[in-house]
């Protein structure tokens, strides 16, 4: 891939990952006016597009589905606001972040407290081979895959298949898995309260909409929006970490800041998509300093252009990431099942 050669040169001349923390500290302060404006610029178009999709039912369901795509994009943007609230980066007060995050969780079908904890674990363990399993996409090493039984190999291959990874899987996560505190079933009542409280809010909101427009019109409009948005969200998360030149290491060699900067991509999207996804493509900077509001991430790149080429991945290049499924510990990169087939079992 073309970005790989760029990165080797870029990384060798860059400031160390840990040294960047001090330079990025000045961007961590949110602007309350800008944060409120971001909510308005995201929420109002989402409502208008939702109503337009409902109106389009009287003309053509294909038109409804077409409108559902940009509506899903704005729902992804709502999730990104919830995401920043989870990092306490959208408002200065933690309580404000938490309450806004909880409310948005009703729209995104995501229990805020459960997700915040899971995502925090992801940030603190990403790239550590001994601490996989929470908030991550399951990734096996070549050696681990070769040691599996044929049945478990098939299960892993199905899990990593694009139809499951970007279609069935995302819908399952947001529609079903998020209905209970997945991963934290025995971790205390607060996780159950978050999940059940979000479920109660969803039931109230859905009941109101069904009362106003009917069950069938509501499902015909809202279900495609949720399914499209969930697939977009999982795709973004996937390419932010599942790229050829990412970084994984065993616990004794793992470094938090190196894993943050070099284990996360700079998904350099076109301007419109960059805005729609709330700059989450600047993921290497986000992982390095998660308290930076998303609307300041491009400011970081403008002030520090040397960060632009670190793990840069274009939209076109990102499609090749779909074929990467296993971590090769010898070559230190993600490879495909076909390439792993040619390797001798350890």
CB atoms < 10 A from the CB of 179, how many? 15
Q: In the prediction, which pLDDT does 5 show?
A: 38
CA distances from 311 to 10, 219, 235, 243 (A): 9, 40, 17, 9
Mean pLDDT of 167-185: 94
Q: At residue 110, what are phi and psi to the nearest 5 degrees?
A: -125, 115
Residue 16 has pLDDT above 80, yes or no: no
Q: In the prediction, which pLDDT does 342 show?
A: 80
Confidence of residue 19 (pLDDT cuts 50, 70, 90): confident
Residue 6 has pLDDT above 60, yes or no: no
Q: In the prediction, which pLDDT does 17 show?
A: 77
Residue 1 has pLDDT above 50, yes or no: no
The tokens for 147 are 């040691």
CA angle (233, 254, 86) in 5-degree steps: 35
Does the CA dihedral 65-68-73-78 come out positive or negative? negative
Q: What percent of the chain has pLDDT over 90?
A: 88
Mean pLDDT of 289-308: 96
CA dihedral 224, 273, 88, 121 (to 10 degrees): 70
Q: In the prediction, which pLDDT does 15 show?
A: 63
Residues 319-341 pLDDT 10s: 999 999 999 999 999 999 999 98
Residue 9 has pLDDT above 60, yes or no: no
Predicted structure pTM score: 0.92
Q: In the prediction, which pLDDT does 3 show?
A: 42
Residue 4 has pLDDT above 80, yes or no: no
Residues 195-237 pLDDT 10s: 999 999 999 999 999 999 999 999 999 999 999 999 999 999 9
Enumerate the domain spans of the chain.
2-12+26-341
Distance of CA 116 to the CA centre of its chain: 12
Residue 12 has pLDDT above 60, yes or no: no
Cβ neighbours of residue 332 closer than 8 Å, sequence gap 6 or more? 247, 248
Judged on CB neighbours under 10 Å (0-12, 13-18, 19+), 271 is exposed
Residue 168 has pLDDT above 80, yes or no: yes
Q: What percent of the chain has pLDDT over 70?
A: 95
pLDDT averaged over every residue in the chain? 93
Mean pLDDT of 289-310: 96
Residue 111 has pLDDT above 90, yes or no: yes
The rounded distance, in Å, linking the Cα atoms of 233 and 239 is 10
Mean pLDDT of 255-273: 94
Q: In the prediction, which pLDDT does 186 show?
A: 85
Confidence of residue 92 (pLDDT cuts 50, 70, 90): very high
Q: In the prediction, which pLDDT does 237 show?
A: 97
Mean pLDDT of 33-60: 98
């Amino acid at each position: 891939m073309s970005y790989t050669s760029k990165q080797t040169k870029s990384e060798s001349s860059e400031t160390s990952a840990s040294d960047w923390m001090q330079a990025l500290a000045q961007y961590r302060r949110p602007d309350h006016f800008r944060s409120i404006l971001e909510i308005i610029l995201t929420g109002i178009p989402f409502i208008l597009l939702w109503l337009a999709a409902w109106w389009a039912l009287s003309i053509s369901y294909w038109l409804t589905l077409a409108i559902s795509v940009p509506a899903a994009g704005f729902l992804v943007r709502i999730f990104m606001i919830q995401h920043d609230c989870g990092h306490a980066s959208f408002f200065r007060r933690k309580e404000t972040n938490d309450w806004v995050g909880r409310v948005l969780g009703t729209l995104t079908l995501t229990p805020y407290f459960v997700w915040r904890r899971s995502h925090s674990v992801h940030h603190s363990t990403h790239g550590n081979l001994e601490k996989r399993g929470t908030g991550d996409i399951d990734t096996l090493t070549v050696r681990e895959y070769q040691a599996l039984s044929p049945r478990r190999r098939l299960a892993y291959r199905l899990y990593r298949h694009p139809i499951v990874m970007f279609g069935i899987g995302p819908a399952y996560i947001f529609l079903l898995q998020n209905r209970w505190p997945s991963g934290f079933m025995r971790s205390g009542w607060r996780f159950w309260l978050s999940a059940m409280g979000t479920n109660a809010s969803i039931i109230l909101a859905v009941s109101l909409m069904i009362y106003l427009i009917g069950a069938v019109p509501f499902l015909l409009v809202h279900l495609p929006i949720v399914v499209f948005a969930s697939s977009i969200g999982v795709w973004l998360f996937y390419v932010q970490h599942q790229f050829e030149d990412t970084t994984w290491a065993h616990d004794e060699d793992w470094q938090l800041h190196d894993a943050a900067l070099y284990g996360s991509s700079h998904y350099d999207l076109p301007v419109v998509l960059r805005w729609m996804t709330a700059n989450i493509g600047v993921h290497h900077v986000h992982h390095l300093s998660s308290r930076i509001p998303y609307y300041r991430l491009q400011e970081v790149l403008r002030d520090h252009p040397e960060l632009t080429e670190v793990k840069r991945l274009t939209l076109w290049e990102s499609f090749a990431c779909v074929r990467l499924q296993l971590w090769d510990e010898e070559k230190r990169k993600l490879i495909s099942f076909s390439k792993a087939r040619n390797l001798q079992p350890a």
